[in-house]
A and B are shown apart, each in its own frame.
Chain A
Amino acid sequence: MAMPRRLPILLFALLMAAVPFIPGVPPFWIVLLDNIGLSALVAMGLVLLTGVGGLTSFGQAAFCGFGAYTTAVLTTTYGLSPWLTLPLSLLVAGCAAVVLGLVTVRLSGHYLPLGTIAWGIGLFYLFSKLEFLGRNDGISAIPPLSIGSLRMLDPGTIYFAIWIAVLLSALLTLNLLDSRTGRAIRALRRGHIAAEAFGVHTPRAKLLVFIYAAVLAGLSGWLYAHFVRAANPTPFGAEAGIEYLFIAVVGGAGYVWGGVLGAAIVVILKEILQSYLPLIFGGQGQLETIVFGILLVALLQLAPTGVWPWLIARLPQRADRKRPDMSLTLPARTRAVSTAAVLLQIDNARKQFGGVIAVNDVSFDVQAREIVALIGPNGAGKSTTFNLVTGVLTASGGRISVLGRSIDNAPPQEIVKLGISRTFQHVKLVPDMTVLENVALGAHQRGHSGALASMLRLDRADEAKLLAEAARQIERVGLGEQINQLAGSLSLGQQRIVEIARALCVDPILLLLDEPAAGLRHMEKQQLAALLRQLRDGGMSVLLVEHDMGFVMDLADRIVVLDFGTKIAEGTPAAIKVNPEVIKAYLGAVA
């Protein structure tokens, strides 16, 4: 499975290794390639941070600065070997990321990019004012990298160090993205509620990518310091930080190779502009920034998602991925030992939003092996009740208990461990991940491999089991044909079914379905009803919100009716059909 996907990377590596030996390659090209590699490293971190994780940062240049200055000070003032300072440079950049990340990563929306601009500039001024960093002049005479007697003095030898770093980082990043942790990171961009409902600790995942991106930038800074053998504040300022983001966006912010391609485009473009524009227009200064700026605006108008995806779309499609080995099984989730027949007990649950009482002292329960439907007109508080049970919202009052134990406003990540999983009224899938990957996110908390293991591919046994489980659940809901399609390409009805498969991956005792039949055709509804009955007979309970009365009346064992946040009726479908309160709520007062 791995070989066909690795082949292009291997070819690329061979090509890059061959370039310096091609006779007649101007040394100047090698310098350009060195610069491309240095920028690509930073851009790759940004791809993960911004394109995949949805966290925009203008401050990456500052992390390069941490890497470069660390090695500059340690090698010049203390005479350490550059190889010794490599881990230290990465460590300093990583620690800076922890501190800044703890402050900034919590920021939502556009506060984050603006916050990063601010500390990016702040750090730039700090670099240029600190005495031991040489103020504006910086630090010079940094020793070159050397292996034995080979001193990497000229651009042609450090070229190998730089591109080995780029290729290794690309490989590690690709591995990371194609893993349990990677799926969690890729789910971040679509908001945190869905990810948290399956046990992802989103703040931790965000901090992780932030640190990862900073370490890559630190690596670039360390290489840079030994490449130009000097460090001064200019390359680590706000303009550079902005340029790195450019590179990522131009190349294609969601794609690892987009970072490399973007670096190539921007570095070469700037070089061409700098060397040819003065020839055409005479020596007027800064003309290249004008053209550079205009070209970027034009490029964004033509290809807002970047050049790499534009390019990939024009290449022949790759062969389908192999299906997971379905013989592998995940161990079942450890279940709380309990003899209680009542699975979910809701006691006077209450939720107030300011003056609005969305859920007004609602009580009901769900027994083992039972399908309960929660119905009511729009705005009755059904979805809010779901959110209270799953920990998305904290209750203003009342008690919700699972198997006799109060859940006490536990966060969603804890609720899912109890075996309660859910789907969403507004589908929350990651559209650019395949059905398989989306569903595998459901099994997140049943896997255990961390980021480091994923990067080094030590997670394969764990990963194969997760994917097998996901594939099994996809077969179960009848979407086996679509397993490798992108979730965004499915119809809305099918996406709802994918959400059910994802919820089943939790190995739940109680399934909460928010309008699962909306958007389904008649036949599909019947298949869904059959599936839910089969799940119930297998020992699972289902609590569902649904507007399709035919579907509900046919399927539910019991129905709870809400109106304006208050429970107005509860009973069997037959009893609910003739309940005067329910008829009044749906059709208005009987004249």
Chain B
Amino acid sequence: MLFLMQDGITNGAIYALLGLALVLVFAVTRVILIPQGEFVTYGALTYASLASGQFPGTARLAVAMGVVAFGLDIFAGRKALHGRLVARAVLVNLVLPGAIYALTSWFSVRQGGIAINIVLSLLIVAVIGLFLYRVAFQPIAHTSVLVLLIASVGCHLAMQGFGLVFFGAEGQRGPPISNEAFTLGALRFTGQSIAVYAVTIAFIVALWLFFDFTLTGKALRATAVNRLGARLVGIRTTLAGQIAFLMAALIGALSGILIVPITTLYYDTGFLIGLKGFIAAIIGGLVSYPLTAIAALVVGIVEAFSSFYASDYKEVIVFFLILPVLVLRSLSVPAVEEEKD
């Protein structure tokens, strides 16, 4: 029992991280981020490749996306090209991924140690997240949630395909962050699971502080409510979107790195993990961070128990878990008029 509970909480913590990222992106950009799962696999498999001394293809993808983003930036600003704009475009879109690429190829030959591998993986995936927003979503940022959602699915398909090209169909595992372990009563805690808990809690607190107590955080939230209004008061909505995607990619990659020592990850595992984060995010109503975190723990625990008692129906149970919650939600929320187009 306790063991199942512990297993559930470890998985739940990962789902919580992903749920948080989804809430973050949705709150700022109205994009329902299906490729969140790809950030997980990219992070995990990049880390695993680096650890085994291979050069990860994701670094190449980052450079390629940077070039496209550069083209879009220059094209969008063609009417009023001035030095600062070009300099920023060059710096962010070309120099940054280029530098990361150089570092990666430097360290992939000489084993740089776990810490360096983690930092590199995070950097690569974060930059991919940033460019993903620039290339795929920024041009259609004003359209309906539905169009954004479809674009999001398109990104998921493309990124999953790239995942197969980069990492192959074989599953991979990465080295653990810490080999420490201790026993407390009947439970055995590994350093890895402690790291999962610590990172999750740190992120929840950090996001909460960021969004409720900093000006940038509030500006990001304002963007979600009303883009035009936010722009009128001087918030740079495109920057807000880029920051949100960058953070989501970072969180996704981090969760990937945290779990790849525990479970074998395949190029397409991310989708399912991401969806479970989704369930947590939906239960949290796509707005509340603490609720999402709690819901994610519940999802993890239910999954652990159902995989033990009714392993065949594990996924069925997890995905139908959402229905009673949705019903409760829609009954408790009074009907509000929405103007959609």
Contacts and interface: CB of A to CB of B under 8 A. Distances in A.
A and B found bound together: yes
Interface of A: 50, 54, 56, 103-104, 106-111, 113-115, 117-119, 121-122, 125-126, 129, 189-193, 238, 242, 245-246, 249, 253, 284-297, 300-301, 304
Contact of B146 (A50, A287, A289): A50
Interface in B182-219: none
A109 B161 contact: no
Which of B136, B315, B330 gathers most chain A CB within 10 Å?
B330
A118 B149 CA distance: 15
B323 A115 contact: yes
Interface string B296-322: 000000000000000011011011101
Contacts of A111: 282, 326, 329-330
A304 B153 contact: no
B180 interface: no
A170 to B, nearest CB: 22
B158 A107 contact: no
Interface of B: 26, 32, 136, 139-140, 143, 145-147, 149-151, 153-162, 164-165, 169, 275, 278-279, 282, 286, 312-313, 315-316, 318-320, 322-323, 326-327, 329-331, 333, 335-340
Interface SS, B side:
helix
**Nearest 4 A-B pairs (CB), nearest first?**
A293-B158, A122-B319, A293-B157, A290-B161
B150 A249 contact: yes
B159 A293 contact: yes
A300 B333 contact: no
A189 B145 CA distance: 14
Contacts of A287: 161, 165
A543 B99 CA distance: 70
Contacts of B337: 191-193
Nearest to A118: B322
Given A122-B315, A290-B165, A110 B339 contact: no
B290 to A, nearest CB: 19
A183 B278 CA distance: 35
Contacts of A122: 315-316, 318-320
B145 A290 contact: no
A297 B319 contact: no
A125 B143 CA distance: 33
Interface SS, A side:
helix
Contacts of A107: 326, 329-330
B151 A103 contact: no
Contacts of B286: 110
Contacts of B319: 118-119, 121-122, 125
A119 B320 contact: yes
Nearest to B317: A122
A107 B331 CA distance: 9
B326 A103 contact: yes
Contacts of A189: 340
A172 B312 CA distance: 41
A114 B282 contact: yes
A115 B149 contact: no
B161 A108 contact: no
Contact of B165 (A56, A113, A284): A284
B140 A304 contact: yes
A290 B146 contact: no
B282 A118 contact: yes
B301 to A, nearest CB: 18
Given A115-B282, A190-B340, A300-B140, A104 B158 contact: no
A261 B7 CA distance: 48
A295 B150 CA distance: 12
Nearest to B34: A242
A336 to B, nearest CB: 29
Nearest to B168: A285
